Amino acid sequence: MEQTHKNKNAAKGEKTTKALLSFLIENKKRLEELKYKRGANHSFMEGSFMEGAFMPL
């Protein structure tokens, strides 16, 4: 029973990750424009948007 619960959580996490990546890729241009409009200077925002797609949180 515990293994089934872990499998469901893993599947949910994978689905969520795919949805987030899909959103970011689809909205890349708009998000880059917002970055420059707001003057974002956080280190994770430097460089191109998809550079280092797997950034630590």
pLDDT for the residue 57 = 46
pLDDT in tens, 1-56: 677 878 888 889 999 999 999 999 999 999 888 877 766 555 554 555 555 555 54
Q: What is the DSSP letter of 44?
A: G
Q: Phi first, then psi: give them for residue 20, nearest 5 degrees.
A: -65, -45
Contact 28, 49 (CB under 8 A): yes
* Annotated domain spans of the chain: 2-45
